[in-house]
A and B are shown apart, each in its own frame.
Chain A
Amino acid sequence: MSTGIRIGKTHASRDRSLRVGPLSVRFRPRAMLAALACAAAALAIAVVLIGSGDYPLGPGKVVDAVFGNGNPADVFIVRELRLPRAGVALLVGAALGLSGAVFQAVVRNPLGSPDLLGFTSGSAAGALVMIVLVGSGAGAVAFGAAAGGLLAGVLVYVLAWRRGVHGFRLVLTGIGVTAILTGVNGYLMTRAKLVEAQRALLWMTGNLDGRDWADVMPLAVAMAVLVPALVIGCGPALRMLEMGDDAAAALGVRVERVRLVLLAGAIVLVALAAAAAGPVSFVALTAPQLARRLTAAPGPNLLPSLFMGAVLLVGSDWIAQRAFSDNPLPVGVVTGLLGGGYLVAMLAAQRRAGRI
């Protein structure tokens, strides 16, 4: 500890700084605690989720089985059948939470989520084209979803570009693109056979049934690269961007470049998450807001949002599977109902407190 790692208190704020030689990182103890608590909660819910089902297992047995100990039947059930699904839920939730935080910070609007910005309907359009027009299997649908989401993202960015991209124009362009794609999607749904339409609807709702590691490999690789790049590489710049482009530029942030990197990273995450589990609604919108309430910190709260997203998706999947166990719902239905209910409750609370 004494060889140059110092933890100090920066003046006039609750921030602490961690110094290692010439490098230093500022952090807030409460935000860090919130992030760790969310991560622990996500893992705990995942263990409960893995342990519950037609063949229930205690938490201890689950943890043993995950590491390959315990009796072979348990190990098979946990590692081959249930762990992949929980892993997909954790990764997709984390990707959505992080990208939601990035979008909301870049757009400077608490409603700036991938659903609003057109990427979700782009993914849906890509998947629908694969299901309805090409009639192909799961792998091709995932590819179509990723490609559709990325294309929609590039389209929105290019259309919104005029000597820089500003938050409000990005939202408006996203709404325009969403509307066009919604029309196209509706048309494709009416062209489909009923069986195809069912499959497409199930996919568009957001669904974790029958997922295994292969489905989530692209997302896992992308997250391994993008999470450090976004959180460590762009996090501080993003915090300055929230003060306005001019102020950020004056503080030495290359505004357009940082914004491009941030948006590109977030779009890739959303598109790959959609490819893995379909466009799950509301996680990207709610996770950053819940995280902010926990940390009580300004700024984008990237890491807490990431873990909060994982909590939300794993928790929703547990509800979806267990609350209606004879007829399990797709996870997207639960996130939508919970998210909508949360927003309504939050509005009512804020009104009582006289804040909005």
Chain B
Amino acid sequence: MRAAPSSSPPQPRQAESTAAAAGATALAEKATSRRQIPTAVGICGSLLLLVAAVLLSLALGSRPLSIGQVWDGLFHPGSTGYAVVHDMRLPRTVLGLLVGVSLGVAGAVMQAVTRNPLADPGLLGINAGASAAVVTAIVMFGVTSFTGYIWFAFAGAAIVTALVYAVGGGRSATPARLALAGTALNAALFSYVQAAMLVDSSALDDMRFWTVGSLASAEMGTAAKLGPFVAVGLLLALALARPLNALALGDEAAKGLGGRPDRTRAGALVAVTLLCGAATAACGPLVFVGLLMPHAVRTFTGPDLRRLVPYCAVLTPVLLLGADVLGRVMARPSEVQVGTVTSVVGGIGFLILLRRAKEVRA
């Protein structure tokens, strides 16, 4: 990736110093490769962690099964564990994977584009938008099926993202404005959700399980529907890593480096909407995952998004699946929802990070 510019034909005014430029490129490449190797190793190690988390998520649950039973249950219809492992734990794991990738990457991109270390789907009001749309679906349209919620949640997230962007100033959006706009919309939408739940008690009954964030009612169909959105969002985020790096220097500097801040920002918001919308639609508004993971990952990757985004994509599902497994085994035979576990674990982790940080300044 780094070597790509050097393979393009040299610009006329650079022609005189081609040799020097070649030497510089070689040096840069050397430096890059020296840094890239640990990255590759690190990503592989993280992938191993992810595989372990997936296996744990398949193997552990409120109903104890032996390894053999889990294996049979995964591949042999009719075996004792099939209903549990193939029909319940597998969709749950796949969905957890998708949601984890979405939230981690969305958090990293959002923190970069708002230049705000506290940005997360909650802060920009996207979770609230999805919640408002879902409660509207339940109260006004009588939607009660889980698959029915998904599109409403998606639409709500998209509308609120557009609204935050518009209120925050559209093309001239600044980090502070975006954050303020998100907070304002968040509060107004939350009041609307509360009013709707107070008026309609059946909505309260459905919403209180949805808002806490749970993977328990996962179905393979949901994962299949949301997969494409997550994939597009992830690719967009990876493609935007370089322009966003430039944007981190400020709009002027980014323009000076040939970037287009407005387009980058719009693209980043599209990516965030796709990812957050999918995640929130799938398992409700999960707090803290999207905020915390990029911070934790940044401690060993540094702020470079080309390293940060892949690590977040791999490591966030580890956290989410781990939290889900923990919630399943913690209170057997019932379950603690994954949203509760992530917010408690994430909150404690956040406080620890905060205590360790040498100096926190405004």
Contacts and interface: CB of A to CB of B under 8 A. Distances in A.
Contacts of A180: 343-344, 347-348
Interface string B167-185: 1110000101100110111
B246 to A, nearest CB: 24
A166 B360 contact: yes
Contacts of A192: 208
Task: Select the residue from B167, B184, B192 with max chain A CB neighbours within 10 A.
Answer: B184
A218 interface: no
B329 interface: no
B290 to A, nearest CB: 12
A217 B302 CA distance: 54
Interface residues of A, number: 52
Nearest to B190: A336
B118 interface: yes
A356 B195 CA distance: 32
Interface stretch (A66-74, A80-88, A327-335): A327-335
Contacts of B190: 281, 336
Given A173-B351, A176-B351, A183 B187 contact: no
Interface string B186-215: 111111101101110100110011011100
Contacts of B169: 351
A281 B118 CA distance: 21
Contacts of A194: 201, 204-205
B332 to A, nearest CB: 15
Nearest to A111: B183
B316 interface: no
A116 to B, nearest CB: 9
A133 interface: no
Interface stretch (A25-33, A223-231, A250-258, A338-346): A338-346
B341 A201 contact: no
A310 interface: no
Given A340-B187, A344-B167, A198 B213 contact: no
A172 interface: yes
A348 B168 CA distance: 8
Task: Select the residue from A168, A204, A340 with max chain B CB neighbours within 10 A.
Answer: A340
Contacts of A337: 188, 191-192, 195
A183 B8 CA distance: 52
Interface size class of B (residues with CB under 8 A): 35 or more
Contacts of B181: 344, 347
Given A327-B199, A343-B183, A344-B167, A159 B188 contact: no
Contacts of A108: 362
A145 B199 CA distance: 24
A104 interface: no
Nearest to B177: A356
B188 A201 contact: no
Task: Select the residue from B188, B189, B201, B355 with max chain A CB neighbours within 10 A.
Answer: B188
A260 interface: no
B288 interface: yes
Contacts of B180: 111, 343, 347, 356
Interface in A184-226: 184, 186-187, 189-190, 192, 194, 197-198, 201-202, 204-205
Contacts of B337: 186-187, 190
B318 to A, nearest CB: 19
Nearest to B192: A337
B172 to A, nearest CB: 8
B342 A183 contact: yes
Nearest to A175: B118
Given A198-B201, A202-B198, A183 B188 contact: no
A216 B184 CA distance: 30
A179 B343 contact: yes
B340 A169 contact: no
Contacts of B174: 356
A281 B184 CA distance: 12
A325 interface: no
B347 A176 contact: yes
A177 interface: yes
B268 interface: no
B184 A348 contact: no
Nearest to A333: B195
Interface in A125-176: 159, 162, 166-169, 172-173, 175-176
B2 interface: no
A182 interface: yes
Contacts of B340: 183-184, 186-187
B187 A172 contact: no
A162 B181 CA distance: 32
B35 interface: no
B347 A347 contact: no
B13 interface: no
B201 A167 contact: no
A119 interface: no
A198 B354 contact: no
B343 A182 contact: yes
A184 to B, nearest CB: 7
Nearest to B123: A175
A340 B188 CA distance: 4
Given A329-B195, A347-B167, A347-B168, A182 B183 contact: no
6 contacts: A159-B354, A175-B350, A183-B212, A183-B340, A333-B191, A344-B188
Please give me the 3 A-B residue pairs with the lowest Cβ-Cβ distance, nearest first.
Answer: A340-B188, A336-B191, A183-B343
Interface of A: 108-109, 111, 159, 162, 166-169, 172-173, 175-180, 182-184, 186-187, 189-190, 192, 194, 197-198, 201-202, 204-205, 281-282, 327, 329-330, 332-337, 339-341, 343-344, 347-348, 351, 356
Given A179-B347, A186-B339, A340-B188, 12 more contacts: A108-B362, A166-B362, A169-B360, A176-B350, A179-B343, A183-B347, A184-B340, A187-B340, A201-B204, A329-B195, A340-B186, A343-B180
Interface of B: 118, 167-169, 174, 176-177, 180-181, 183-192, 194-195, 197-199, 201, 204-205, 208-209, 211-213, 287-288, 336-337, 339-344, 346-348, 350-351, 354-355, 360-362
